[in-house]
Amino acid sequence: MRSVRQCSRTACGRPAVATLTYVYADSTAVLGPLAQHAEPHSYDLCVPHAERLTAPRGWEVVRLLPEFEPLAPSRDDLLALADAVREAGRTPEPVAVTSATAVVPEPAALADAPRRGHLRVLRGTGPDVTSPDGAV
C-alpha cells in the first residue's frame, strides 16, 4: 500500500499533492505534481501551501498545474486495504502441541510466592542463598 506523504512545511500534517524544486541557476521555483519518490532536495506541499507559494524577490515561480487536488485512493490501495482487513479477520490456525511447546504447570511453591505486577519472587538454592536459620 502506498504511504501518504505529508506536507514538508513545519507543523503541517496534511497530505502532500505537489512537489517544489528549485533551479538555482535560473532563479526559478518549479511547482509540479507530486513526484513518485521523495527527493532530498525537493519539498512536498499540501493544497493550501501549494496555492500560497511565493518565491523570493527576483525569482520566478513556474506552476506546471493550475490547481492541485488530493489524489483519490488507487485500485492498488483499495486492494491492499481489503487484503489487510481479510487477514486480520482470519481465525488463527490451531497449533499442534508437542512436548517442546507444552505448557508446564507452576509448582505449588512458586504459585504461593508473593507477586508484584508481572514479577514474582523465586526461592533459590544457589551458594549465595541463606537458609531461614542464617546458615550458608
Which pTM does this prediction carry?
0.49
Q: In sequence order, which residues have a C-beta less than 8 Å from that of residue 32 and are 6 or more positions away? A: 18, 19, 21, 63, 64, 65
- Cα-Cα-Cα-Cα dihedral sign, residues 29, 35, 41, 46: positive
Q: What is each CA distance from 60 to 55, 68, 78, in whole angstroms?
A: 7, 19, 39
- Look-up: residue for cell 546458615? 135
Confidence of residue 1 (pLDDT cuts 50, 70, 90): very low
3-state secondary structure of 15: strand
Quick one: cell of 55? 518565491
Reported as a single tens digit per residue, the pLDDT across 67-83 is 776 666 666 667 777 77
The better pLDDT of the pair 35, 105 is held by 35
